[in-house]
Structure 1
């Protein structure tokens, strides 16, 4: 079953983002450091593929009160304009009482007899596999007297996949067929489709099998964070994590846990930090003109982005001053950072023209480790077109 690209959204994956071959790529010059170990980054991701995502897991929330119950604890709207529960899958998040992100999730509505091994109607919730048990406990805490059943879904019952094909001219049908559920990934153009396979088989899609690493690189190049290693649990704000621009927040729905700060930030505050794709490069090199994934063609012991500790502060190269952001996670020479827009990018925030401190020649650095064996590398942030467009629309 071929065909995954959306005609209305130009696929962002192009040869300008990935070096054409391992032998001819501009080698990312990495510094060796002692007592470090890492697997080599994957080679250049294919332009089409089908990847299993073992980093994601599922639980079910079912019962007569399931829709009403979820409506009060997630950022998206579970109901349609006519008041009935929605039937399409969607992206959303669970927040704590202070408006910090606990879990970023996809939610898939289902009806009894639709292939899901759960009695009655309800929802499958896809979350970070390392945190899904914690999410189940969080949901049960709010259940009280609601007629809702919560159950972890075992891997032999259902699995999560991502499919993409940048060259295709048609779409994969986003409907359930009894053995799977399919949704177009709503977070950024060109990410492809999420597939829930409701058995222990692989999805029957006419695409070559790829890897989760390839999917991760595609996400990083588009600046899309996923899971608690990238959207820091109980620290990250949903707007700083771009959730409202990735179709994960409905600002017109009723009350939900964490709504007060989220609404206030939307209507009265300025979001000065955003998760952005970043490229790391050697200190003695010039800043890269464009975001590009360069596969590791050298020794697997070389310094790669996955070796940089999470939450490492981003500083100005050769200057002192406030932190420009923090590193989140990476692979090869790319990754994600929570970046101050007015310092690291040319984005001008509403009413903040005078406060902008960014200049085109600014450079930034990541430094970590003990003084006697400190490691460092330069880092540059980029603003994807979909995000730049969304920020412009939000300011109107």
Structure 2
């Protein structure tokens, strides 16, 4: 139903070969993100310990420069786990929202999935080196957003099937335990593998992702080197959420996190954990809340018309250098100067931009089919929204900033195609 616009390697493994990117791709590259292939083995409960890297947060007093027009960044916020073995395709297929394996022959997907000893073959996005996907819990809530890659370099034994899962660094322990919970007697092992180049198709302009041993040292690119903060700015401007700080674990629905619009869910796929609620939400045809890019601005100016990055929300003589990182996550978004139901939830930001889970009919000009708008239609010149924090028990004191949601062009196009 359409949506209408109202307006590290383990011991004994040799270094990976350098990934190749042709000069034509380099010239057209909008962004290049690199995931280091360091120490992410998970063959027992303690193996993944060394893989976790502390994520440092830039203080509000330090301005983060806008990202360059093109460049690459070593993503210390992401880590890798590999799965290899005869049962790896079947095992992974039953846990994620995209198809990994399929069994030839007739019969239902559920029957085929449970047929013991049947041969499985990889079917990763029609031969692509990998894809974007998600792990859900039994109630259809997102546990992990992830990229899954196929072992195209053959570092495992010939008779084995091997895959690499890229996940939020702070969640690598949790994902390893999730694997162990469902492993049972499956013939597979968890260990780290190699180097891959994969287009990031979640949104136009996200560039490519590279899994590379030794980080960016092996890359021969005529691009400016950047960092995680610049990568975050680019994601926020495009409205792409990533990791559990932005897709709250066991709270967010995959469609609210735009995983359907970013190609992270195959609705024709058979049984997997969390499928029932995901399919029901899809066929019901209405997703009232979605994660959108937002701009924070001071109380005095008129609502901004464009989503543009600045290092601070407010700056200049006599003004506090307030940043989106000073705004606590999880704050309720309300109408400025009016009471009523929450319009959304602030998630996370940097500089003057960030992401929020927004009610579409309240904060945007998007109409939901079959839904009656609550109150008068949204007017961007009239309707303003605010987040407040730090007030005392009587509601006095504290701080507040105004917030405006934007619907990126790519998201509008994909909503209309649904």
Deviation at 1:120, TM superposition (A): 3.8
Tell me what 1:84 maps to: 121
Tell me what 2:111 maps to: none
Contact 1:276 1:382 in 2 (8 A): yes
Tell me what 2:67 maps to: 45
Contact 2:361 2:373 in 1 (8 A): no
Pair 1:284–1:298, CA change in 2 (3 A): closer
Pair 1:94–1:118, CA change in 2 (3 A): farther
Mapped to 1, the partners of 2:360 and 2:26 lie a distance apart of: 31
The 10-residue stretch of structure 1 (81-90 or 280-289) with the greater mean CA deviation from structure 2:
81-90
Match of 2:140 among 93, 96, 99: 99
Pair 1:40–1:269, CA change in 2 (3 A): same
Match of 1:194 among 206, 209, 227: 209
Deviation at 1:137, TM superposition (A): 0.4
Match of 1:147 among 175, 187, 205: 187
Deviation at 1:119, TM superposition (A): 9.3
Tell me what 1:31 maps to: none
Contact 2:73 2:228 in 1 (8 A): yes
Pair 1:11–1:193, CA change in 2 (3 A): closer
Partner SS for 1:196: strand
Could you tell me which runs of 5 or more consecutive residues in structure 2 were left unpaired when the two chains were aligned.
1-21, 32-57, 105-119
Contact 1:2 1:206 in 2 (8 A): no
Tell me what 2:281 maps to: 265
1:352 aligns with 2:371: yes
Contact 1:6 1:190 in 2 (8 A): no
Partner SS for 2:347: strand
Tell me what 1:323 maps to: 342
Deviations 1:212-263 (A, max 9, x none): 1111111000000000000000000000000010010000011100000000
Partner SS for 2:89: helix
Runs of 4+ in 1 over 6 A off after TM superposition: 80-83, 116-119
Partner SS for 2:261: coil
Deviation at 1:114, TM superposition (A): 3.3
Tell me what 1:138 maps to: 178
Tell me what 1:62 maps to: 84
Tell me what 2:221 maps to: 205
Contact 2:26 2:221 in 1 (8 A): no
Deviation at 1:5, TM superposition (A): 7.4
- Scaled by the length of structure 1, what TM-score is found? 0.81
Mapped to 1, the partners of 2:27 and 2:345 lie a distance apart of: 33
State which structure, 1 or 2, has the greater radius of gyration over its C-alpha atoms: 2
Contact 2:196 2:211 in 1 (8 A): yes
Mapped to 2, the partners of 1:367 and 1:116 lie a distance apart of: 53
1:287 aligns with 2:303: yes
Deviation at 1:44, TM superposition (A): 1.7
Mapped to 1, the partners of 2:158 and 2:232 lie a distance apart of: 31
Match of 2:404 among 371, 380, 383: 380
Mapped to 2, the partners of 1:213 and 1:291 lie a distance apart of: 17
Deviation at 1:77, TM superposition (A): 1.1
Contact 2:81 2:165 in 1 (8 A): yes
Tell me what 2:359 maps to: 340
Could you tell me which runs of 5 or more consecutive residues in structure 1 were left unpaired when the two chains were aligned.
13-35, 159-179
Mapped to 2, the partners of 1:375 and 1:3 lie a distance apart of: 49
1:364 aligns with 2:405: no
Mapped to 1, the partners of 2:222 and 2:23 lie a distance apart of: 5
Deviation at 1:63, TM superposition (A): 0.4
Contact 1:274 1:341 in 2 (8 A): yes
Pair 1:341–1:46, CA change in 2 (3 A): same
Query: What count of residue pairs does the alignment treat as equivalent?
Result: 343
Once superposed, what is the RMSD of the aligned Cα atoms?
A: 2.7
The 10-residue stretch of structure 1 (305-314 or 291-300) with the greater mean CA deviation from structure 2:
291-300
Match of 2:417 among 384, 393, 396: 393
Deviations 1:35-64 (A, max 9, x none): x95342311210110110000000111100
Pair 1:343–1:117, CA change in 2 (3 A): farther
Contact 1:11 1:189 in 2 (8 A): no
Contact 2:361 2:378 in 1 (8 A): yes
